[in-house]
Amino acid sequence: MVSTIKNILSQKYFSKEDIVALLKTEGDSLQLLLDKALDIKRCYVGNYVFYRGLIEYSNVCGKNCFYCGLRAGNEKVARYTVSDEEVMEAVRFAYGKDFASIVIQSGENTNAINVHHITDLIKRIRQESNHTLEITLSLGEYEEEAYQEWFDAGAKRYLLRIESSNDNLYRKIHPDDSSHRFGDRFSALKTLQKIGYQTGTGVMIGLPFQTIEDLADDLIFMRDFNIDMCGMGPYIEHPDTPLWQFRDLLLSQRERFVLSLKMIAILRILMKDINIAATTAMQTLNPNGREKAIRAGANVVMPNLTPQKYRENYLIYENKPGTDKDAGETLFEFEKNIKDAGEIPGYGLSGTSKHFQSRN
């Protein structure tokens, strides 16, 4: 097995069968895969791990994704939207700590979120940071006009997770209605790329009904779509969601975690110069999850800067860590994770995706 994996890793092109074989690695073969990914990361995107200060702007959501604790149908959630002043406070914190970029993430609610209001916020953030703080939006599917308006206002990066590139699986984890169409999500991603955003996507790993072949297809999807950034992590069940009823079908949390490490490592090998996040979901399933994700090829971390009083109401999945920590504590922990992984905290670096730079 080790020699087969060695042979696959020495190739330049990877077929679906190769990727499936890599996803099945264990023991020494798995270590080979992880080591290769770390080498490639260091060679193509360097030793720095970039910071994105995360602001969970609103948990109001009009959608009903079957896996998500924020779904509109979950009446147990106390809904909130962070005020402009609170956003700016988080922005000032990020700027003061020498972060070069922030992420504004929200439930998707085309009715509650005023497009022009977001535009004004983007302009204000850019202005008050002397046009240095880069902004990533992760607000879901909107019309092209909205995406264009935000881009023109100064947000140049957008993260829209496809969650699964398999239309059939996508349908199993979303309601079958016009608000939850795989085709719409795909078109929105295309639009973002056309406008000129650094475009990011990602998937959930270890969903019920998902096969290893589906995951290989997800990796091929990201490669062929030519994404610039990726945020992906293990699926973690939430009791107040419809997918909870299928929890007996799931791999163990440990298996989902290891599978997620393999996904990160393989994506790093397939797309050498993109940005890959070490997501919070990794840390949820393993106390050293962030560090291990970095050693598997991730080069971005996203410390949570959401005002603490809101955090326990942004629970997409169960047991999300960091809800009880203030931004200072969070930051200390992130810095330690990065150093423990043998890498360098990338303060002051905007971390523009090298892949984006080279494809333009």
Exactly one of 36, 52, 63, 185 binds ligand SF4 (CB under 6 A); that residue is 63
Exactly one of 18, 56, 108, 228 binds ligand SF4 (CB under 6 A); that residue is 108
Residue 204 or 219: which CB sits closer to ligand SF4? 204
Exactly one of 91, 129, 140, 186 binds ligand SF4 (CB under 6 A); that residue is 140
Terminal C-alpha separation, the chain: 40
Q: Strand, helix or coil at 225?
A: helix
Exactly one of 29, 30, 82, 107 binds ligand SF4 (CB under 6 A); that residue is 107
Could you tell me where the beta strands, DSSP code E, fall in 206-291? Answer: 229-230, 233-234, 275-276
Closest distance of CB 165 from ligand SF4, Å: 16
Tokens of 157: 């990066």
Closest distance of CB 290 from ligand SF4, Å: 22
Residue 165's closest CA among 245, 103, 227? 227
Host H or E run for residue 128: helix 115-128
Exactly one of 41, 52, 71, 156 binds ligand SF4 (CB under 6 A); that residue is 71
Which listed range, 28-36, 66-74, 256-264, 269-277, lies at the site for ligand SF4 (CB under 6 A)? 66-74
Cα→Cα distances 243→64, 67, 161, 173, 208, Å: 11, 6, 18, 7, 8
Closest distance of CB 5 from ligand SF4, Å: 35
Q: How many residues bind ligand SF4 (CB under 6 A)?
A: 10
Q: Cα(286)–Cα(278) distance, rounded to whole angstroms?
A: 12
Q: Cα(295)–Cα(34) distance, rounded to whole angstroms?
A: 7
Q: Write out the binding residues for ligand SF4, residues 262-321 only, by CB under 6 A.
A: 316
Closest distance of CB 180 from ligand SF4, Å: 8
56 contributes a contact to ligand SF4 by CB under 6 A = no
Tokens of 23: 């996803």
Q: Cα(264)–Cα(282) distance, rounded to whole angstroms?
A: 11
Residues of this chain that interact with ligand SF4 (CB under 6 A) are 61, 63, 65, 68, 70-71, 107-108, 140, 316
